[in-house]
Amino acid sequence: MTLQGTVPPDEMGKAAHGETSPFLRGDLRAYGPLLTSLALSLMIVWLVVKILLFGESVISYYTPTILAFEDLMVASEHLRRAADTSQGDFGAENIAAQHFLHAEATLRELVYEQWPKDNIHHVMDLFGEVQQVAESLSNRQYGEMQRHLSLMMPLLEEHVRQHKEELMVGKRNIKLLATGIGLACLLVIAMGLAATVRERKAARLYRRESEIKSALTALISALDAREPYTKGHSGRVAEYAAALAKHFGIRSEECRKLYMGALLHDIGKIGVPDSVLLKEGKLTDEEFAVMKQHPVIGERLLAPVEFLAELLPAIRNHHERHDGRGYPDKLAGEGIPFFARCIAVADAYDAMTTDRPYRKALTSQEARAELLRLRNVQWDAAIVDAFLIILDGDVEREEAS
């Protein structure tokens, strides 16, 4: 009988039992390295774009602008010296004048054609003085020309200084961006190495768990072969118990753990003598005392298996009773582990509805009545109620199909 919505059985190591990748399990923590790597990659792309944009601005703006300003400074000094040392009159055809006019035209063309429009107003005061120098030169007013050159030079020097400072800031930013890219790349590499190491460890652990699960499967098969009238009992109990956990909203990973615990709940019967385990009549008090040791034997048998540590209480305590009269620890009520309470109800129902050497199987209705009769006595009432809901839903689906 397969319950709809339960954790399906498998060979204790396949993806159906939940051994899928953490990403497929929807475990958000597993996305941490991926999301961090993605964020770092986006940051690297952003840094590269910033570097490319600044490199483009250096090529198209800062370098030619600074060169044009400096050329105009040199031309202005040349013009000033020429005016100071001239023996006589000199006009626009003078080489110093030609140098100045050419430098001024080059800077003006650069500003109006390549500068952002909102930056042009910053040089209007400079261009005003340059225009005055050019007009004075054209009118051969050398004294006026000298005066405007004196006014123009501080403005020109200030623009050169500002642009060089901006360029230095840009260079510093490029270094910072490049350093950031390098560090981000190193971090991505480190994360990749860490993820690789983690995955290798996980793979080794998975292989180890698979080997242990295979060994446990062999033990369960041996138990079925030794006790043939209960063949398939552990698998059915595991399905029932996992369906119960899912009904209570337990996370799928915990449901898988419960499935494993329920599958192994009777493994301790391997340590029970055949004379007791296979006896067809009613057990004596001494024999029953021996039988009651199988949860403890199961716990002791599985204790060395590290990844089953969380399941040991469920295996040890699945025969406890709600009223505290169970075994081996006389636990009661919610003092009994939740997994153990789920297994207890699933185990009881399957035991009642299958043939045993000492009695015939009960019908499903008779077993249900027994569960209701002893709810809050032998079994947790909430778990009994949930189990009956699951059974009713399964019957409805079977009838509909």
Task: Read off the pLDDT of residues 207-227 as tens digits, 9 standing for 90 and up.
Answer: 877 777 787 778 777 777 776
Q: Is the pLDDT of residue 22 over 90?
A: no
- What is the predicted pLDDT for the residue at 395? 55
> Is the pLDDT at 380 greater than 50, yes or no?
yes
Domains parsed from the chain with CATH numbers? 24-198 (1.20.1420), 227-400 (1.10.3210.10)
- pLDDT for residue 16: 34
Look up residue 342 and give its amino acid.
C
Greatest mean pLDDT among 80-84, 112-116, 266-270, 338-342: 338-342
Q: 115: which residues sit within 8 A by CB, 6+ positions away?
A: 61, 65
- Give per-residue pLDDT as tens, 32-49: 666 777 777 787 788 788
* Percent of all residues in the chain with a pLDDT value above 70, rounded to a whole number: 86
Model pTM above 0.75? no
CB neighbours (10 Å) of residue 215? 11
* Model confidence at 21: pLDDT above 60: no
Is the preceding peptide bond at 33 cis, omega within 30 degrees of 0? no
**pLDDT of res. 11:** 38
**pLDDT 10s digits, 328-373:** 999 999 999 999 999 999 999 999 998 776 678 899 999 999 999 9
Could you say which DSSP state residue 359 is in? B
What pLDDT was estimated at residue 331? 95
The DSSP line for 217-283 is: HHHHHHHHHHSGGGTTHHHHHHHHHHHHHHHTT--HHHHHHHHHHHHTTTGGGGGS-HHHHT--SPP
Residues 308/314, Cβ–Cβ less than 8 Å: no
Q: In this predicted structure, which of 3-7, 36-40, 82-86 has the lowest mean pLDDT? A: 3-7
Q: How large a percentage of the chain has pLDDT more than 90?
A: 28
Q: Higher-confidence residue: 49 or 378?
A: 378
Could you give the CA distance from residue 162 to residue 155 in angstroms, rounded to a whole number?
11
Mean pLDDT of the chain: 81
